Amino acid sequence: MQLASLHQHIKQRLDASLQDLINDLPDAAPRLKESMLYALTNGGKRMRPLLVHLVGNMLDIPDNDQRAISMAIECIHAYSLVHDDLPAMDDDELRRGNPTCHIAFDEATAILAGDALQTQAFSIVAEHPMSAFADQRRAQLVAVLARAAGYSGMCGGQAIDLAATGKQITLTELQHLHQLKTGALLTACVEMVCLVTEQLDSNHQQLLCCFANRIGLAFQVQDDILDVTASTETLGKPKGSDEARGKNTFPSLLGLDGARQELAKLHQEALQALDGLPYNTDYLVAFTDLMVSRSH
């Protein structure tokens, strides 16, 4: 199967699982429930679940485990987007071509939807059906997910990003910021899969985490490049918005050519990490290519 078809398949299956997850909640707070579903199924590319699936299949972990990890990761990802879009944060009205959660609902509901989605992620890791082996690792899975999502990961990255907006920072600082803001959760996808793999060489785990780290950064560099070069229609959000709000980006620090070189470097490093693995990494190579060449 081509990666694109596989991606489509994973996306459809996960969308259905996430819909079931929210539909199964009681109806006590219908507007909150609706906003959680909206945030979770608002046309996301499901890059993280695809990564979980590709690494999970490569390491032969059961479907159930892949699904639980993907659902939890997507709940964290969706919550972070809802909160990042709020007026007090990035103040975005469009996301993937649709109104952001606080526009489609209201600000209070969006704050609560984000809050409840974060909690939901930990519920999934703690309780969603998983294999007997993964069941023994739930606490460690929670620990990995919390480290990636919290102060020392995504939340911290967003705080550093806000503090750096309108100021000039160094390339190292920008890389660190994105390693926390985007990279931590992508790396957690791989770490969580590794945690539920029964036998895994620690060197190979390290290579996989290095790979995730490089594609996490590459993803962000490509995001920054697209913000400069793509059309608003393709992006599903206003182009040039990074510059307009004084965000530090790879093109603003390195120029567009410099950013493209940085992207090529990260691409190579990701492929090198894969090279060291004794598995068939064809899909992961294709995934890496997709991450750096995507047009939206």
Longest dimension (CA), the chain: 53
**Residue 271 makes contact with its own copies by CB under 8 A:** no
**Residue 20 makes contact with its own copies by CB under 8 A:** no
Residue 131 Cβ, how far from its own copies at the closest point, in Å? 14
Residue in 20, 60, 106, 282 binding its own copies, rule: CB under 8 A = 106
**Residue 109 makes contact with its own copies by CB under 8 A:** yes
**CB nearer to its own copies: pick between 124 and 190:** 124
Q: Contact region for its own copies (CB under 8 A) — 57-65, 153-161, 222-230, 249-257?
A: 153-161
**Residue 125 makes contact with its own copies by CB under 8 A:** yes
Choose among 125, 86, 51, 116: nearest CA to 274. 51
Q: Contact region for its own copies (CB under 8 A) — 1-9, 55-63, 101-109, 254-262?
A: 101-109
Return the structure tokens found at 4.
Answer: 């694109």
Residue 37 Cβ, how far from its own copies at the closest point, in Å? 11
As a whole number of angstroms, the distance between CA 148 and CA 129 comes to 22
**Residue 150 makes contact with its own copies by CB under 8 A:** yes
Task: Check: CB of residue 78 under 8 Å from CB of residue 40.
Answer: yes
As a whole number of angstroms, the distance between CA 281 and CA 287 comes to 10
**Residue 278 makes contact with its own copies by CB under 8 A:** no
Residue 276 Cβ, how far from its own copies at the closest point, in Å? 29
Task: Check: CB of residue 131 under 8 Å from CB of residue 69.
Answer: no
Between 170 and 209, how does the x/- string for binding to its own copies read (CB under 8 A)? ------x---x-----------------------------
**Residue 159 makes contact with its own copies by CB under 8 A:** yes
CA angle 125, 126, 130 (to 5 degrees): 65
**CB nearer to its own copies: pick between 180 and 218:** 180
Determine what percent of the chain falls in helix, strand and coil, rounding each to the nearest 5. 75, 0, 25
**Residue 122 makes contact with its own copies by CB under 8 A:** yes
Task: Check: CB of residue 296 under 8 Å from CB of residue 230.
Answer: yes
**CB nearer to its own copies: pick between 74 and 222:** 74
Choose among 156, 149, 98, 95: nearest CA to 120. 149
**CB nearer to its own copies: pick between 106 and 201:** 106
**Residue 24 makes contact with its own copies by CB under 8 A:** no
Choose among 187, 256, 236, 252: nearest CA to 85. 236
As a whole number of angstroms, the distance between CA 146 and CA 126 comes to 12
**What are the angstrom distances between the C-alpha of 290 and each of 4, 47, 195, 283?**
9, 10, 26, 10
Binding site for its own copies (CB under 8 A): 25-26, 28-29, 31-33, 36, 79, 83, 86, 88-89, 106-109, 111-112, 114-116, 118-120, 122-123, 125-127, 135, 138-140, 142-143, 145-147, 149-152, 155-156, 158-160, 162-163, 176, 180
